[in-house]
Amino acid sequence: LCDKSAIGFGPRSWRYSMLVEDGVVKKVFSEPNKEGDPYEVSDADTMLKFVAPDATIPPSTLLFTKLGCPFCAKAKALLESKGLAYEEVVVGRDVSSSALQAAAKAATVPQIFMDGKLIGGSEELEKHLA
């Protein structure tokens, strides 16, 4: 165990991941021994790059929508047609319109983020994925 009480966790096991084939450990990805709670090398993306270095990692996609919005439906259909998974946040249900404004600097939906970068609305998404 390592002591992480300085950041509110207390004693815990060190974060790591490993590749095991037929009961044999082939590779261990252990987080560096440094302050805080590093999460740099034990993640799924690191493992994927190791086992399939030519694999393309799909973008992490966040979609702000409103219920009944036809442009939102268009954006979701486009993402689905490209085989891209997304997390949907419904304005007015999951977050307020103020949160949308703070995140996207826009009051209209949809607002799409890919890998943390604001793409914009459905038309911008269409151009981005072309």
pLDDT single digits (tens) 91-129: 999 999 999 999 999 999 999 999 999 999 999 999 999
CB 116 within 8 A of CB 89: no
CB 57 within 8 A of CB 48: yes
CA 19 vs CA 1, 4, 99: distances in Å: 21, 26, 40
Q: What is the average pLDDT score of the chain?
A: 93
CA 44 vs CA 50, 101, 124: distances in Å: 10, 32, 29
Give the largest CA-CA distance in the chain. 53
Q: Report the pLDDT value the prediction gives residue 107, as an integer from 0 to 100.
A: 93
CB 104 within 8 A of CB 116: no
Q: Is 64 helix (H, G, I), strand (E, B) or coil?
A: strand
Is the per-residue pLDDT at 33 higher than 90?
A: no
Is the per-residue pLDDT at 17 higher than 80?
A: yes
pLDDT in tens, 46-76: 999 999 999 988 899 999 999 999 999 999 9
Query: What pTM value is reported for the model?
Result: 0.68
